[in-house]
Amino acid sequence: MGFTGDSIVIKDDYTFERIENLKMGDAILGPEGPCIITKLSEEYKDKVYNLKTKNFFDYYIDKDTKILISKWFQLFNKDTSKYETYLKPTEYLEVKELAPTALVCLNTLPLLEENTFVNPILYGLLINKASLNKKDEKINVIARNISKYMDLIKRSDENLYVQKKDKIIYINNINYPWINDLDCKEHQRKIDNLLFLARRELIKNFIVTFTKSNTDIYLNEDEFRLYTESKILAIQLFYLYTYIYNKLPILEKVDKKTVEYKKILQSSKKKHFAISMIPEEKILKKVDLFYQEIEKINEIEKRMKIYNIEVLNEKPFYVNNLIVLG
């Protein structure tokens, strides 16, 4: 199997990582549990496939990569005089064998719900909007565009020292394990893997707060659109929303200055990744699998470096929004 180096896998500790940063012996997560990487290789290909599903942005994939799919078919019902739709059993097919009518399968990420997480509400407010100011061995947080949440910030931890000046909030006395997640540029932000190990209610506290504080127009929990500059953070949110709300969000690349999406209008100053939840968009789910429609699958002539991964016992694992057979 093969992907470009910027494709994202999930390691067994629930950190999300680019394929190009993996090493031999790393354990990556799949629906049957962790998979041990036994072989990594790189090669340039002159032809690759460009794949895009209805719920995920497009990316490049090698023709021999086996992904979990299903197919649908129709049969005529004499009793109702109508055609009825049925799903075939799932199977792993190579990308070069896929028809546009195939359905790409993905399950909800299995989380342990065992641990705690310190102040997920504050983390949801800061992870996409705040930065660190390190001076004289002291760490101060500077947060912009969340001044209306000042009272919520104070209530989240009475030991915090919070000040507001114009539209900027300054926070001192934060000694949380996740504080250094803010010590990078916005396009490098990641959600701490400890949140993926936390109890469900703590994850939802983070999700609800993050969603409300990152949308200009928030209609309700399952109707919104938000932006982030970080690709990894966007994919992490894709899996977390699926886990919490039991339905797939829509994850897109956004290049336009203004984006209109049905009832939700919001401006975008830079290139972003957009995550939307729209009630009208119904995604087929059966038992524990979501079935994603393919919007585009084309073989293109484009020379690209492809990273190949092999795992012990050829177990399946997650890449982007796919289940891939190793």
pLDDT in tens, 199-237: 999 999 999 999 999 987 788 888 899 999 999 999 999
In this predicted structure, what is the pLDDT of residue 267? 41
pLDDT over 60 (residue 264): no
pLDDT over 60 (residue 27): yes
Query: Comparing 270 with 264, which gets the higher pLDDT?
Result: 270
What stretch of H or E contains 203? helix 200-213
In this predicted structure, what is the pLDDT of residue 269? 46
Per-residue pLDDT tens over the stretch 231-251:
999 999 999 999 999 999 999
pLDDT over 80 (residue 276): yes
What stretch of H or E contains 193? helix 193-196
In angstroms, the Cα distances linking 232 to 61, 62, 238, 239, 271 are 18, 21, 10, 11, 15
In the numeric block, which tokens belong to residue 289?
Answer: 């699998």
Confidence class of residue 325 from pLDDT cuts 50, 70 and 90? very high
Q: Please state the pTM of the whole predicted model.
A: 0.91
Radius of gyration of the chain (CA): 21
pLDDT over 90 (residue 279): no
**Which has the closest alpha carbon to 44: 247, 308, 312, 223?**
308
Average pLDDT over residues 37-64: 96
Q: Cα separation of 285 and 107, whole Å?
A: 9
In angstroms, the Cα distances linking 23 to 7, 97, 234 are 15, 30, 24
